[in-house]
Structure 1
Amino acid sequence: MRRFTVRHFAVRATALLLATASLSACAPLVLGTAVGGAFMATDRRTSGMQLEDQTIQLKARNRALDVLGDRGHLNVNAYNRLVLLTGEVPTEADRDAVGQAVARTENVTAVVNELAVSLNSSLSSRASDVALATKVRATLVDARDLLSNAFDIVVERGEVYLMGMVTEREANRAAELVSTIQGVRKVVKVFQIISEDELARKLPRPAPVSNGNSTAP
């Protein structure tokens, strides 16, 4: 099980990738950032940051396509200005060039380049990744000690990448659960680690309860 956190990005980050609109080898399942008030309300990013991440993904995709064209299979996912690149490219030089191009995208603070130098994944492999992503999400939803929408899930060739703004406890618990799912080859943690106090400040506060004693003027 590998792990990336914001503490590692200064030395590890070298590249970023683009997310394709069609079925791809990367199967993202990002309920926490889906359009709609219910999901946005449980995302630990501000609504402004969620929109910024969407913009980063689009711009990074364009930069990657300018470099690679149709010579590979590329995906990009952004969370809190951190970009994860997954997919396949023909050569190591292509991998580096895409990463460098994406790293220059406006507002990107770090890039984790997980592009594989290999042939493009097959359609059947991508379909399996979509199904596996659904199983991963369901497992996190069923976990009573985790908020599933705090996690972004990316699946590539059976490898599960977990993104999000979580505590050390949540990161370890989620990775432990996902690693037990049949079909998962590897779990890679790509998290921004926050403290328990920071988490408490981000959680929504319950609405005040009326005592029912108010009187009309």
Structure 2
Amino acid sequence: MTMKTMTATSTQRFALALTLGAALVAGLSACVPLVVGGAAVVGVGMVATDRRSSGAQLDDQGIELRAAARVRDIANDQMYVSVTSFNRQVLLTGAVGNEADRRRVEDEVSRVVNVRSVVNELTLGAPSTFQDRSNDLYITGKVKASLLDAKDIFANSFKVITERGVVYLMGIATRRETDRATEITRGVGGVMKVVRVVEVVSEADLAASQAANQSAAQRGGTGPAPVSNATPSAPSSSSSSSRVPLPPMEPLPAPGSAPAQPAVTTSPVR
């Protein structure tokens, strides 16, 4: 391993430790009804190596904040929802009291501007406990560290979310990378199940999208999202009630303006 590689790995580990520490404080200091999955910026290095375009990354932050505001407006004592957006696809995890609330949360989030699709993994029952959440944070840290240690996979290809021992992998990756990440995650202690919410692309498509993003970055533009494989949801006419500054939303490509891509793979692995 070269000195440059060792330095990069150490930097990533340090950023990971800071992120997990901040999440631990935020997630465990109080019983909050809603968690925003990825609004915090880890660092310039992490953003630069993300396979999403810079515009898509900003959109994901805006989507999470807007979705959080919508869910907060309808939240009740039986609702604990985590909202995570990746490349404009939203994953909902957590628990609600009944099926009506489950459908209502999905409906509210799906109407947020620029949300392409919603993967609803909310369960019915009591919210997770303090011990559940601390254990999930611990598992998430172990999975991220294991992916980072692997020599044959790019760890930043995946976002890791854990809910009561179930690990969700979100990202843009090839079939080989997805299978390898799944194998690594299944080997981490405490993982009950792995659910892949991955946009699977070919090696050629991945190389082309990365080249396009690099070219756009050099020109100072945001560039198109590297994958657009779902029909965009119609923009909502109502505005979000969020009171925090939101990043600009990059318009989605017009229907038919880009070739169809492989569909998102959502597959539980026991």
**TM-score when scaled to structure 2?**
0.64
* Alignment partners' CA distance in 2, 1:28 and 1:66: 14
* Alignment partners' CA distance in 1, 2:129 and 2:76: 19
Q: 1:40-189, aligned counterparts within 5 Å? A: 40-189=47-196
* Alignment partners' CA distance in 2, 1:203 and 1:169: 17
Alpha-carbon displacement from aligned partner over 1:35-75 (angstroms, at most 9, x marks no partner): 42211111001111101100000111111122224431111
Alpha-carbon displacement from aligned partner over 1:166-191 (angstroms, at most 9, x marks no partner): 11111111011101111000000001
Alpha-carbon displacement from aligned partner over 1:2-29 (angstroms, at most 9, x marks no partner): xxxxxxxxxxxxxxxxxxx931699998
* Alignment partners' CA distance in 1, 2:37 and 2:184: 17
The alignment partner of 2:72 has SS state of helix
Structure 1 residue 105: Cα displacement:
0.7
* Alignment partners' CA distance in 1, 2:209 and 2:156: 13
Contact 1:74/1:86 (<8 A) preserved: yes
1:22 aligns with 2:26: yes
Contact 2:37/2:82 (<8 A) preserved: no
The alignment partner of 2:112 has SS state of coil
Query: Which runs of 5 or more residues in structure 2 are unaligned?
Result: 1-24, 215-270
Query: Which runs of 5 or more residues in structure 1 are unaligned?
Result: 1-20, 206-217
Contact 2:172/2:200 (<8 A) preserved: yes
Contact 2:79/2:96 (<8 A) preserved: yes
The alignment partner of 2:126 has SS state of coil
Residue identity in the other structure for 1:192: E
Residue identity in the other structure for 2:61: Q
Contact 2:160/2:168 (<8 A) preserved: yes
The alignment partner of 2:102 has SS state of helix
* Alignment partners' CA distance in 2, 1:38 and 1:201: 21
Higher strand share: 1
Counterpart pick for 1:193 among 185, 190, 200: 200
Contact 1:27/1:155 (<8 A) preserved: no
Residue identity in the other structure for 1:39: M
Number of corresponding residues: 184
The alignment partner of 1:97 has SS state of helix
Contact 1:89/1:118 (<8 A) preserved: yes
The alignment's C-alpha RMSD in Å is 2.4
Q: Equivalent pairs: percent with the same residue?
A: 43
* Alignment partners' CA distance in 1, 2:207 and 2:151: 17
**TM-score when scaled to structure 1?**
0.78
